[in-house]
């Protein structure tokens, strides 16, 4: 591992030497080079270059020379900042102070998002997660434009948050719902409501996960953290949107008071749910958040959750899935992700998917297991029962927030992927 600072330059020249044929990176005369040739001319290549220099053991680098801007600097940081190493990076000199301010904003949010998702569940229970979110947002905006509150466990049923109460009932670390509202222009209409799944650890409950399946479940609050990060950027960049944020926080554990298969939940919008699988808990807490979001009649609702393994089977850990009855919204999210050098892909959601979650003893069930059933689509269909028919709504199944195994772009751990897509999507829809 090198302890000497490595200066890294961008170049459009092809390399011909010991680093192979048309390599992405090379080391020459104690300097690093990213070869932006026709084969490596996109921003993902810059992310891959950052990952490559980290893998080569260079833990102290300085971006130098011409060609560095906000986009390629941020792209490099995404690949270079491994989850657990304390890499040091010196940024290039920028003539425009706005570039420096924007980088500071995005990097601070990126760092917070990665740290909070990587934090072990023993250090981040639901109440502590709510505190972390509150502290983070308080540093992003002035008190006059931002209001925050936490609904604690003993108040959940008073507010009819039946899903969050049930899912967290078996844990000593009790559930809560964190709500923030950002209203910079003191407008009456809420532009967008962000709803996040904040499961700080998911054992699967009585529908117990395997040991390997539990290993990464500290990251099951990635949807809520991404929603908070998106609001953080909106505030730091001074975007003029009235935003309501609801994150439902719980630990899904096994205990004498845990909710069980066969239990029935009755939500305040009149929908009854039979629990078929306690490991399908995320949609139960999101239902609380969606009902709460609609009390403000927002122009748009976005829910964000690490919701299904089915989405990862379909898209891997490279793409976030976007689902909406309005296909224009899901395809616009794909476009918004591309504009921000992130990856997203639409998955189908049709009205017939709603019939697949119909129950026998209740209106709907929280899990279906018939052969050939599209798990990501039926999960979204379940959520649709808690969204009014005429309400613009996008569901994001956040498969790309955490990297189990390292690849050419990311080290293992939280990736910081997704919050930029959400903010750009809000700009494209509302702005």
Which residues are within 8 A (CB) of 429 and not within 5 positions of it... i.e. 6 or more apart?
Answer: 192, 300, 329, 332, 392
209 is catalytic: yes
The distance of Cα 81 from the centroid of its chain, to the nearest Å, equals 17
Q: What is the rounded CA–CA span in Å between residue 19 and residue 92?
A: 25
Encode 367-386: b = buried (16+ Cβ within 10 Å), e = exposed.
bbeeeeebbbbbbbbbbbbb
Q: Is 270 exposed, middle or buried (0-12, 13-18, 19+ CB in 10 A)?
A: exposed
Catalytic-role residue among 283, 317, 343, 420? 283
Catalytic-role residue among 209, 237, 299, 354? 209
Active site residues: 209, 283
């Amino acid at each position: 591992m090198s302890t000497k600072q490595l200066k890294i330059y961008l170049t459009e020249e092809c390399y011909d030497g010991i680093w192979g044929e048309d390599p992405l990176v090379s080391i020459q005369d104690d300097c690093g080079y990213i070869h932006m040739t026709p084969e490596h001319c996109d921003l993902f290549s810059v992310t891959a270059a950052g990952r490559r220099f980290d893998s080569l053991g260079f833990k102290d680098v300085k971006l130098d020379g011409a060609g560095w801007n906000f986009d390629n600097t941020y792209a490099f940081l995404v690949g270079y900042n491994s989850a657990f190493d304390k890499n040091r990076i010196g940024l290039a000199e920028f003539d425009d102070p706005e570039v420096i301010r924007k980088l500071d904003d995005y990097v601070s949010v990126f760092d917070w998002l990665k740290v909070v998702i990587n934090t072990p569940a023993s250090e981040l229970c639901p109440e502590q997660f709510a505190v972390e979110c509150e502290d983070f947002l308080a540093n992003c905006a002035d008190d006059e434009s931002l209001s925050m509150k936490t609904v604690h466990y003993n108040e959940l049923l008073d507010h009819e948050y039946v899903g969050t109460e049930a899912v967290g009932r078996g844990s000593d670390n009790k559930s809560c719902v964190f709500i923030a509202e950002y209203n910079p222009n003191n407008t009456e209409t809420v532009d967008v409501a962000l709803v996040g799944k904040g499961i700080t650890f998911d054992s699967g409950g009585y529908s117990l996960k395997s040991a390997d399946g539990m290993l990464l479940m500290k990251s099951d609050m990635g949807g809520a953290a991404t929603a908070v990060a998106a609001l953080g950027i909106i505030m730091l960049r001074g975007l003029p949107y009235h935003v309501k944020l609801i994150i439902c926080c719980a630990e899904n554990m096994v205990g004498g008071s845990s909710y069980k298969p066969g239990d029935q939940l009755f939500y305040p919008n009149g929908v009854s749910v039979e629990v078929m699988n306690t490991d399908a808990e995320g949609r139960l807490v999101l239902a609380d958040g969606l009902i709460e979001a609609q009390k403000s009649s927002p122009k748009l609702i976005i829910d964000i959750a690490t919701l299904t393994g089915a989405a990862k089977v379909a898209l891997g850990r490279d793409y976030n899935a976007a689902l909406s009855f309005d296909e224009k919204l899901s395809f616009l999210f794909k476009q918004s992700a591309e504009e921000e050098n992130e990856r997203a892909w639409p998955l189908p959601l049709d009205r017939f998917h709603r019939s697949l979650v119909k129950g026998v003893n209740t209106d709907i069930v929280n899990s279906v297991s018939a052969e050939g059933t599209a798990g990501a689509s039926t999960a979204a269909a379940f959520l649709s029962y808690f969204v009014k028919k005429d309400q613009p709504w996008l569901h994001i199944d956040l498969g790309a927030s955490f990297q189990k195994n390292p690849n050419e772009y990311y080290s293992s751990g939280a990736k910081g992927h997704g919050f930029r897509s959400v903010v750009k999507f809000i700009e494209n829809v509302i702005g």
